Structures are given as C-alpha cells and as structure tokens.
Amino acid sequence: MSLIFVVGSGRSGTTLLARILGGNTQAFAFSELHFFEEVSDANELSGALTPDQTLSLLARLLATHEGGYLNRPNPDDYREKALMLSQSLPEDETHTPASIFRNFLLGIAQRHGANFAIEQTPRNMFYAKEILELYPDAKIIEMTRDPRDVLASLKHKWRRGYLAKGNYPIFAAVRAWANYHAMVAANLWVANARCGEGLVTEPRFKRVRYEDLVQSPDATITDVCSFLGLAYEADMLKVQHRGSSALKDSRNTGVAAGSVGSWENGRLNHAEIWICEKIARQWMQKMDYEPVDLRMPYIGIAWSLLTLPIKVMFAVALNMGRVRSARDFIKRRMAR
C-alpha cells in the first residue's frame, strides 16, 4: 500500500491529475480532505489521541470524504461510521493525528480494492517536508502551471456555480470571488514554486507541468506511473470534462488542452498580466514561462492597490475558522 499526494498552486491541475491516476484499477483518489492546516495543526501531528479524539478525527475525515469539502457536512452525522472504521485501526501503535490520517487513507483505498491512495489537496505543498518525513512510503507530485493561466482560472472560479450545473454551493462561489486578487494570487504561486524548488532533488518528489499533461497526456502519465510504481492503463485518460472555470461540465471524456494560454483570450486584464509578471518573473523564467512585458498600466495598478485591502477583508471574513493556526498559515507561505 502506498500514499500519493498531489500538490501545487490552486487551479494548476491537481484535481485533473488525481482523477486520471484514480482511474487506474490499482488506485483510489480522494477529494480534497484539507487534513493538514484545517483538521490538524502541524505542531500536533505526533501527539497521542484519546479514543474520543480518534473517533472525532475519523468522523471529520469521513464527513469531508463522503459529504464533500465545499458542502461543509456535519461530522456528528458520521460518528457511527467512524466507530466502525476505528475498529480496524492497528492496536499495536499509538494513535496520533498523523497515523490516523495514514490509516484512514489506506483503509478506504483498500476497501475499494486499491493499493495506492491518492490525496489531492493543493495546499499540502506547504507541508511536503512533513509528509515525506511522516510517511516513508509516500510520494509527492507537484503540479505547476503558467501563473497567468492560474490567475485566469482563479479569477473566474466563482462561475463554477453555473458551470457545474448546480453542484457548486453558492457560499463556495462567493468565497472564490473574495479569495481572488491578482497580487495575492501571484504571490501564492511564487510561494508554491519556491517551496517545490527546495524538494526537487528528493527522490520521492516529482514536478509535472500542467501544459505537458494536457498536451502530451500519454507520455506524461506513462512517466508519472513509472515514478509511482503504478502500471500504466490507457483508460486512465478517459476522464470526464469537469472542474473548468470556463466551460460547462460535460460527459465528454479525454484530456483537453484548450485551457493552455487562456489568459491571452481576455480572461485577464492588462493590469493583472503586468502584476503577475512583475511578482513572478524570476520563477516564471526558471520554469520556462516567458513574460510578455506589457507597458505599466498605471490606472489598473492603482485600482488593484485600492481594492486589495477590501478583498483581503472579505477573504478573511469568509474563511474564518477554516485554519487551525493563522500564524502557521501565513508563515509557511512567506518562508524564503
């Protein structure tokens, strides 16, 4: 049994890759569980849990897994299932948040007849070192994408409420609108890139470009499977078209490359492109994403600066209570 963590900047293709890998007969892909940072504090991962704390943790993980992270299900509704699951936990080990999370992932995957458990929370990028230290059998894949396409997708993510045909909560759409600001999004992209750069020599860590995945899916997934020790299966690429911030969900299958370079089609304005390139230039060039060097749009930048505190205020209000430690949240994203 193996753990696979798919991480990276939001809207960089983590969900697409996880769904492709989850299409393998030997793998099971979870939705975003947000264990690190929201469910358990990084400083508490190795602390011993009481039986009641163990049950509460399992109930919360089950609620997110079965009820959906965006739907914010009540963990109390999953206590009975959590109790049944707790009976299969190893009796000869101390139960800690880290061990419970591992056993939860592997246990659910095994129930689906899989030997590989795939977790796809993007922000786990900021906990990659802890993951590799805690789980010797884990491997991490970081998805990278042109930051201008990332910003374009984040900017229009709120439209998922319409594109997902009613399967996207209104609150989630409002929160997606509040969370986006070009300056914040560009800095977060850089933080992810910087974090990944510190792990590129780690043998259990691999970087995959979104552009390579959608433009050369066969070769890219064959390479990824080789890294993971997972047998390649052609049917893995028959994923349904879902999750786009530009197109409606459909039953069509296959890996579509139309989203590459979408920022050039009016999805970002002049100021957003300039801001993104100004903030991320060094890392863009390191990852072969060439800036277009637009002229400085003074009015657009002034408007962006003016709206920054307003957007931050809305984002903080709508995300209140989701993070266990605001200090750790900020520290990891600002670490050099």
The chain-wide mean pLDDT, for the chain, equals 92
3-state secondary structure 152-195: HHHHCHHHHHHHCCCCCCHHHHHHHHHHCCHHHHHHHHHHHHHH
User: Structurally, how many domains does the chain consist of?
Assistant: 1
Which pLDDT tens digit goes with each residue over 98-127?
Answer: 999 999 999 999 999 999 999 999 999 999
Annotate 21-55 with DSSP letters as a single string: HHTSTTEEE-----IIIIIB-GGGTTS---HHHHH
Which pLDDT tens digit goes with each residue over 6-60?
Answer: 999 999 999 999 999 999 999 999 999 999 989 988 778 999 999 999 999 999 9
- For the chain, the 3-state helix, strand and coil shares in percent, each to the nearest 5, are 55, 10, 35
Residue 336 has pLDDT above 60, yes or no: no
CA–CA dist 45, 48 (Å, integer)? 9
Percent of the chain with pLDDT over 90: 77
Domain containing 200: what range? 2-334
Q: Residue 285 belongs to a domain with what CATH number?
A: 3.40.50.300
Structure tokens, 253: 């299958």
Structure tokens, 210: 């979104």
